[in-house]
Amino acid sequence: MNGRQKILYFLYLHRTGLAVTALSLTLLVYPLFQDNPYNLGLSNLIAIHAIVVLGLNLFVGYAGQISLGHAAFFGLGAYGSAIGCVTLGLPPWPTMLAVALLVALVALLIGVPALRLSGHYLAMATLGCNIVVHTVMLQWDEVTGGPSGFSGIPPLAFGSFAFDDEVSFHYLVWSFALISLLLCLNLVRSGVGRGLAALAGDETAAEALGVDTRRAKVKVFVLSAAMASLAGSLFAHCYGFVSPDSFGIFTSADMVIMVVIGGMGSVWGSLFGAGFITLLPEWMDVFEAYKDFVHGGILVLVLMFLPQGLITGLLEQIKIKVALRRRKDAAA
C-alpha cells in the first residue's frame, strides 16, 4: 500500500466517526455564521424531528414494522414535561427522564399486543392510539388546557444558565440529536443491529439464526417511543407552549414520510428526511395550504418507484448497477 492508499483506507475505515465529527464541528460553528433567529429556529426544529425520525426509522427500517402513531409519543413527552414542570412543579431534567420512562412503559403495554399484528393492522392500531391520545389532549381541558394549548413551560437550565434563546437551543437540541445519531449508528453496526436487519429482511430466516423476533420488535418500538418522548420534552421546553395541533395523525404521517424520504434503515437518511420535510414548506409557500397533499403525493411516488425509500433506494440502485457490471466483467 502506498501513502495515498493508506490514507484512503484510513478514511474508509473510520468513515462513520469522521462523518459524525465533521457534522458536529459544522453545527458547532453554525450559529457564528447564521444569526437569523428564524433560520436557527428552523434548524432546531430539524434537530427535534431528527430525534423522532431516527427512532422511527429503526422501527420501520430495521424492525421492518410500521407505526402511524409516533406523534402520540412525541405529544406525550411534550405534555408530560409541561404538566410535570408547571402543574406539579417538578424540576425539568428529572421530569424529562421520568416522562421518557413512562412513555416507554406505555409503548411496552401497547407494543406487546399490537406487535402480534403486522402490516395494515399494525398501522391501524398505532393510528388508533394516536387518535385516542390526541382526543384526550383536546378534551381533558383541566389538565391539558384543551384546544387552546398549554403555555408557560419554563426553559431547561443548568444552574443559572437557561436555554432560552435560539442559539442556546441550537446547542441543546443538536447535542441531543447528535447523541441519538451516534447511538443509532452504533446500534446498527453491532450484532444486535444485524439481527434487526435480518428481521426486516425475512422473519423466518432471522428466527432460524437466533433472533427473538417478537422481543426485538417490542424493544425497538419502546426505544423509538422513548426517543420520541425526549424530543417532545425538548419541543415543549424550547417553545414554552404546546397545543394538540402539533401531535395529530398528520404529524405522525409526516414522520413516516421523513423516514421514507431518508430511506428505510438509513440512519444518515433520517437526518436528511427530517431536514427535507421540515424545510419543504419554506421553499414552497404556495403549497402551504396543500401541504398534506404534497406530502401524500411524495409518499405515494417514492413508495411506488423506490419501496426502500428515496435516498437508500437510489443508493441501492447504484450499488446494484456497479455490482452487476463487476459481475459481468468477472464473467468476461
Partner 1 sequence: MLQLEKISKRFGGLPALEDVSFHVPRGQVTALIGPNGAGKSTLINCISGVLQPTEGQVSFAGRQITGQPAHQIARFGIARTFQNLKLFPRLTVLDNVLTGMTCEGGRSMCMAMLRLPYLRHRERRLRLRAMEALDRFDLTEKANWPAEVLAYGDKKRVELARATVGNPQLILLDEPVAGLNAEETSAVGDQLRRLRLAGYTLLLVEHDMDLVMEIADKVVVLDSGRCIATGTPDEVRRNPLVLEAYLGRMDATA
Positions that interact with partner 1 (CB under 8 A): 183-184, 186-187, 189-195, 197-198, 201-202, 204-213, 219-220, 223, 265, 308, 316, 319-320, 323-324, 326-327, 330
Helix (H) or strand (E) holding 301: helix 291-305
**Positive or negative: CA dihedral 214, 217, 222, 225:** negative
Query: Considering only CA atoms, which of 167, 174, 233 is closest in space to residue 46?
Result: 174
d(CA 47, CA 199): 28
Shortest distance in whole angstroms from residue 331 CB to partner 1: 9
Residue 277 CB, nearest approach to partner 1 (Å): 24
Which residue, 164 or 207, has its beta carbon nearer to partner 1?
Answer: 207
Minimum CB–partner distance for residue 299 and partner 1 (Å): 21
CB of 130 to partner 1, least distance (A): 25
Task: State which residue, 194 or 291, has the beta carbon closest to partner 1.
Answer: 194
219 or 237: whose CB is closer to partner 1? 219
Report in angstroms the alpha-carbon separations of 239 from 98, 117, 174, 246, 285: 20, 37, 15, 12, 23
Other Cβ atoms closer than 10 A to 109: 11
CB half-sphere exposure, 251, CA atoms < 13 A = 22
Q: Which residues have a Cβ under 8 Å from the Cβ of 47 and sit 6 or more positions away?
A: 170, 173, 174, 176, 177
Closer CB to partner 1, residue 3 or residue 210? 210
The residue (of 54 and 236) whose beta carbon lies closer to partner 1 is 54
CB of 108 to partner 1, least distance (A): 14
